[in-house]
Amino acid sequence: MIPAMASATALTATPLQAIPIADSPYVILFGSLYLLIVLAIGAWGYMQTESTSDFLITGKSIGTWVLALTAFSVIQSGFGFVGGPELIYSFGTTALWIFFTAPLGFLITWVLLAKRMRVLADIRDVLTLADGMYVRYESQWVRGLTAVAVVVGVVAYLATNLAALQYVMRAIFGVPVTTGLLVGAFILLLYSMLGGMIAGVWTDFVQAITMIVGAVFVFAFAVSFGGGMESISRNLATADPALISPFGAMGSHEEAIFAALGWWILFSIGTAGQPHLVTKFYMSKNLRILRWGAPIAAITYAVSSLLAFSTGLSMRAMVEAGEIAAPQNASVVGPVFVLEHTPGVIAGLILAALLAAIMSTSDSFLNIGAAAISRDVPRALGRPIDDDRTELRVTQAALAGITILSVLVVAQSSALVGILGTIGWGFFAAAFFAIVALGLNWKGATKEGAIAAIVVGLSVNLFYNAVPSVAGVLGLGGVAEAVPGLYPFPETFPVGTVSLLVTLVLFVVVSLLTGARDGDSVAPDVAALMER
């Protein structure tokens, strides 16, 4: 499978080795300033944290703009600077199907979940996604499987983000890769342990502002670099008319349409299955502030996507026109353009934003993963940690454990990082969209349907994405070649979309076969929530 299809938000390690080391003092200045801000926010968050609730959901204290910009930034992540330009450079305007549909995903997520998740945090003691799913289905199996899926996805995301972080630290500060990994991971762990989600939310907010400002400047420089949109379009059309067509840059016309449809489904509907986004609704001050969150998140995401759109098209147009040499790898198109074709101040701002994107998103994953270990798994096993202070300390210890594990993965095995990199957006979308988004809107959903959806969704993703990679590493070439041959769709059609659609159908069918259709199995307070 094409890596970008399998895990569109994952950052792989190897291609980023081609990022040059910055030679502008502004890059070091902005990078250092960002790291100092991160540590200051962590220290401030520590002073605001008195309970596990404060640590995990900020004590329900954030407002409209912070919530919306935080939601946009954890979804955009480093993808906007690395994966986005790569896709646009490689496939032209066809790749815009991701950027057109992702803003729609915020609207769908807000409509389906914002009010229900926030009210759920009022009527029950919920701090994590698994808490909410236990309340909905009253099943420790659902709680436990949700927690396991979260931990697997978090380790995968964190390892790939740390793999990228080491090269970004090298690009900014010129340090050896190993030093960049250790220093970056230590700073990430320090501010995560100090401030929890309070620190994470505010670093997400800083990241969002930086991304928006930087994207606008880069858009202007990129269009100018390519000679204007007319010149860019002409150069691309001369090289390959498919690069500026809606569907034609990914194989045959039929395959391209199929891929675009797959992206549309995965990045619009699948947004509502991302735990690092949907749990943000627990944190809002009240229901009123949810009203404008969706359009703010959607618009800011669209603005930030100007960076990927402009750099990808402009760089490809200039390469095709023979004005510049092709980059070593399409994955570094965005960073290379910023470092080599923008002023030092802009380069510093953008690389600081890339550093922020990786670290702040990693912090969100760290928090939900640690909570799954300290809170959800023990409760699913019938051995909850009853003392709040002890639970908070165990959560912080879990943060350290997950970080150390991810660092060891990155340091010891680039092959393992690549395998984990295939577990991304589609993994969470398949595991959680049905049980969360449908489950909180349909009284007929059952615990059996939820269990089936999680297990099968994870299995389909792992079978098609991870098994071929694992087999290749183990020298089982026959298996590595056979599994992709079993995939019944064109390779450009995302595996995540297939697993998402399979789990949706399975969830509904199993629920209809096993449940009370009148909704009597739903707790009265949860049923009232679903009727709001």
Buried b (16+ CB within 10 A) or exposed e, 337-369: bbbebbebebbbbbbbbbbbbbbbbbbbbbbbb
Residues near 356 by beta carbon (within 8 Å), at least 6 away in sequence: 34, 38, 203, 206, 207, 210, 211
Residue 79 and residue 335 in contact, taking contact as beta carbons nearer than 8 Å = no
In the numeric block, which tokens belong to residue 280?
């943000």
Query: Percent of the chain, pLDDT > 70?
Result: 88
What tens digit of pLDDT does each residue of 202-221 get?
A: 777 887 888 888 889 999 99
For the ranges 84-88, 248-252, 317-321, the maximum mean pLDDT occurs at 317-321
Whole-model pTM: value is 0.85
**pLDDT bracket for residue 425 (50, 70, 90):** confident
- Give the pLDDT of residue 18: 62
Averaged pLDDT for residues 167-180:
86
Distance CA(278)–CA(117), nearest Å, equals 8
SS3 105: helix
At residue 285, does pLDDT exceed 50? yes
Angle, CA of 290, 291 and 292, to the nearest 5°? 100
- Which is nearest to 46 in space by CA: 37, 54, 34? 54
Q: Which domains does the chain have, with CATH numbers?
A: 19-376+391-409 (1.20.1730.10)
What is the amino acid identity at position 173?
F
Looking at the predicted structure, is the pLDDT value of residue 11 above 50? no
Q: Note the pLDDT tens digit of each residue in 330-358.
A: 778 888 888 888 888 888 888 888 887 78
Name beta bridge partners: 35.
none
Query: Which residues make Cβ contacts (< 8 Å) with residue 358, sequence separation at least 6?
Result: 11, 77, 78, 161, 164, 165, 168
Strand partners, 200: none
What pLDDT score was predicted for residue 516?
Answer: 62
pLDDT at 9: 41
Q: Tokens for 16?
A: 């980023």
Confidence bin at 440 (pLDDT 50/70/90) = very high
pLDDT band at 414 (very low <50, low <70, confident <90, very high): low
